[in-house]
Copies of this chain bind each other. A is one copy, B any other.
Amino acid sequence: MEYYEDIKPHQKHRSREYYLSEEEIVDYAKKWDPQPFHIDPEHAKNTVFGGLVASGAHLYAILMKLENEKRPRPAWITVLGLDKIRFLSAARPGDVLVLEDEVISKRESKSNSNAGIVHSAGKLINQQGEIVLTVEGIAMLEKRPANGTPSSQSSAR
């Protein structure tokens, strides 16, 4: 586990490559965001996008999936908020996405003496190096448990 104490301002992380298939774009959007340019390849040709593009909700889901694959695993208690999400380039079938993020700053929690607050900036980038999405996150992380006390994620409140 990566605890609050382990986090260093300006530390960076780069995820694995994530292949975005047409089937996944359509399946996700049919369930959650069924706009024509997300679910109908023929119809999408005649929109401003000129073809099928992934839903913004889908892109955020992919970002969370890649965050969850980080090792060591961050000792998240909760995400408090997200700011400045910008959808800068469309994500299309066959794109290969990578998540890059960087810690902006950290501070002690005012409400929870066993936790700290970490601000970070993330971006999804495609195989051309274009930025698909940017986001800033505010997360609460556990501090390292003293004396082998189990962490709140594993057994303690």
Residues of A within 8 A of B (CB): 31-37, 46-50, 55-57, 60-62, 64-65, 68, 76-87, 152-157
Candidates B82, B84, B86, B152; contact of A48 at CB < 8 Å: B152
**Bound-complex Cα distance A37 to B76 (A):** 10
Q: Contact between B86 and A84 (Cβ–Cβ < 8 Å)?
A: no
How many copies, total?
2
Whether the pair B87, A84 counts as a contact (CB closer than 8 A) is: no
Contact call B82/A46, Cβ cutoff below 8 A: no
A57 close to B56 (CB less than 8 A): no
With A57-B60, A64-B57, A85-B85: A153-B36 Cβ-Cβ less than 8 Å: yes
**A155 contacts B46, CB within 8 Å?**
yes
User: Which residues of B lie under 8 Å from residue A37 when comparing CB positions?
Assistant: 153
A32 touching B65, Cβ below 8 Å: yes
Contact status A157-B68, CB under 8 Å: no
**A153 contacts B47, C-beta separation under 8 Å:** yes
With a CB–CB cut-off of 8 A, which chain B residues contact A60?
57, 60
Q: Bound complex: CA of A96 vs CA of B137, how far in Å?
A: 27
Which of B48, B152, B153 meets A78, CB within 8 Å? B48
Chain B residues near A155: list those with CB within 8 A. 46
Shortest CB distance A27–B (Å): 10
Residues of B within 8 A of A36 (CB): 153
B157 touches A34 (CB 8 A): no
Q: How far is the CA of A87 from the CA of B64 in the complex (A)?
A: 15
Q: A35-B68, A57-B60 are in contact. Are A154 and B83 (CB under 8 A)?
A: no
